[in-house]
Structure 1
Amino acid sequence: MISLSSLATAVAPVTQFFSAAKDSLTQATQASDMTWPQTIVLSVVQGLTEFLPVSSSGHLRIISDLLFGEDAGASFTAVIQLGTEAAVLVYFASDIWRIIKGWVRGLTNKAARGLDYRMGWMVIAGTIPVGVLGYLGKDLIRENLRNMWITAAVLIGFSLVFIAAERYGNKRRTMDTLTMKDALVMGFAQCLALIPGVSRSGGTISAGLLLGLEREAAARFSFLLAIPAVLASGLFSLPDAFNPEAGQAASASQLAVGTLIAFAVGYASIAWLLKFVAHHSFAWFAAYRIPVGVVVMGLLAAGVLHPM
């Protein structure tokens, strides 16, 4: 068994590097304000990790402390997520428009109630669990659950779910076989993303695989399911991002630029992930998450990172 003291010793060579980087990036600014280097770096991280099953909130939490010495906060994260969600809207624009039209037609015409009509209701139903829990637990999410020890432990522990999903899911079902039960199961799995380290796409795609969906089908519905929740979260958090109760404050220009960066990088990430999961095991992401979680624990034990 690897002890925390041995982890701290193992990462000792990198502690001075990160400490020096942190000092140089934060020395010219006040602790309560976002800086432009911080805005750019975190927006790129958001775009890269939002759709990959590695936890964007966990990575933003880690990078914020590692390089800038302070947690940017859940509100800033929620707002720049609007950029990555805009990438989903653009990438899946034809699918979204088709579903909306099918849903609207089906409301008044029973003969038109096909897959798109059902898909509309499935997205709505699957969004309810995370909407309710996200609203009721907003204070817990913004503060207590952002403990770095929790993030590191979840990065490691939830990776086992990825491996199990790949092993036990038969991956034979396509998008046209989705049911309301599937939507609700994946909707409840999306709630796990409220914990930094789980990953929204990781939770929902894993649930989809365990339900027998193909990797690409699980990923596509995961992205569609996230749209209402992330848009609502970002808009709800917008006022708090300027004057947060926890975390740092960002200016309107920083939020705007961060959102644009997240959009551009996020769009590329979607295209890459859909191609990757079509031909590769989802468990490959566990091979990344587990070492990252172990290193974070070592940095915590060494005092380079701070739990809160």
Structure 2
Amino acid sequence: MSLFHLILVAIIQGLTEFLPVSSSGHLILLPNLTGMRDQGQTIDVAVHVGTLGAVVLYFWSDVKQAIRGLPAALTGRTDTAQARLALGLIVATIPTVLAGLALYLTGLTEALRSIAVIGWTMLLFGLLLYWMDQKGPQTKIAADWSLRDAAIMGLWQAIALIPGTSRSGITITGARHLGYTREEGARIAMLMSIPTIIASGVLLSLDVAHQADAQLAKDGAIAALFAFVSALLALSLMMRLLRSVSFTPYVIYRVILGAILLVIAYS
């Protein structure tokens, strides 16, 4: 891959991983709409590592709490806030892992990677985010996150395995439906991304372990670095804007892009 292609893929992944606009959808569209060759799973793993580093760094105080609570959570104890957070993240990740394995083993993943599917999911789930954001109450904060809410948001997150849905977008939609404030709902959704990205990265790594060579390793390092920087910038910007701005700008972008893709798909 050329350096330009690597940087382009990394920046697209970094900017769209945490914004509610679907990183997988944009990465699938890149070769389809530009004629560039697919970046391959090795680079996919690399950019996932980069975005993982960004979200861990940005939410490091919360991540530390979850790590401290993990031993207690694994034994079923929920007598501390740290343990409840750790157990909530585990519960929220299970539906996505199970659904992801089912798609992987049945081979349905490739069948969903079409412009028409991405167009519909961009459009419909964008409108759903708008509806929930406008109608949902803003009464809950992250400290109110219960195992029930974690399970419900985990089911929402599993829908994001359909390209174009947006993992962050659909989990934020679920959070707003449950009554979390915009900022706190996004915070929970971002924390939920950490074990999910780890799980998807491990699954992808199993497929690419035999492909590793010096040039791919170098390309992967470059992609990871640029994905890390762009993801950190996008995450910081979104969390700051949510203090005063709704999700409507992202919805408008999704609706316009979805409509364009549907025109392309059915023309």
How far off its partner does 1:156 sit?
A: 0.7
Q: Which moved more, 1:277-286 or 1:233-242?
A: 233-242
Matched with 1:230 is: 197
Answer yes or no: is the 8 Å Cα contact 1:149–1:297 preserved in 2: yes
Matched with 1:49 is: 16
Answer yes or no: is the 8 Å Cα contact 2:50–2:228 preserved in 1: yes
How far off its partner does 1:142 sit?
A: 3.8
1: CA distance, partners of 2:42 / 2:6 = 13
Matched with 1:280 is: 245
Matched with 1:264 is: 229
Matched with 2:80 is: 114
1: CA distance, partners of 2:88 / 2:206 = 30
Aligned residues: 263
Alignment of 1:170 with 2:170, yes or no, is: no
1:208 is aligned, of 153, 175, 186, to 175
What's the TM-score once normalised by structure 2's chain length?
Answer: 0.90
Q: Which runs of 5+ in 1 are unaligned?
A: 1-33, 245-249, 303-308
1: CA distance, partners of 2:96 / 2:238 = 24
What's the TM-score once normalised by structure 1's chain length?
Answer: 0.78
Q: Which runs of 5+ in 2 are unaligned?
A: none
1:77-156 aligned within 5 A: 77-104=44-71, 113-138=79-104, 140=107, 142-156=109-123
Q: Which moved more, 1:190-199 or 1:204-213?
A: 190-199
Answer yes or no: is the 8 Å Cα contact 2:69–2:83 preserved in 1: yes
Q: Which moved more, 1:189-198 or 1:227-236?
A: 227-236
How far off its partner does 1:181 sit?
A: 0.9
Answer yes or no: is the 8 Å Cα contact 2:43–2:223 preserved in 1: no
Q: Which amino acid aligns with 1:98?
A: Q
Q: Which amino acid aligns with 2:171?
A: T
2: CA distance, partners of 1:277 / 1:258 = 28
1:55-70 aligned within 5 A: 55-70=22-37
How far off its partner does 1:197 sit?
A: 0.6
Answer yes or no: is the 8 Å Cα contact 2:46–2:221 preserved in 1: no
2: CA distance, partners of 1:235 / 1:106 = 22
Matched with 1:291 is: 256
How far off its partner does 1:272 sit?
A: 0.7
Give identity over the alignment, percent: 32
Change (3 A) 1:37 1:142: farther
1: CA distance, partners of 2:266 / 2:93 = 38
Q: Which amino acid aligns with 2:201?
A: G
1: CA distance, partners of 2:75 / 2:102 = 34
2: CA distance, partners of 1:72 / 1:191 = 24
Matched with 2:158 is: 191
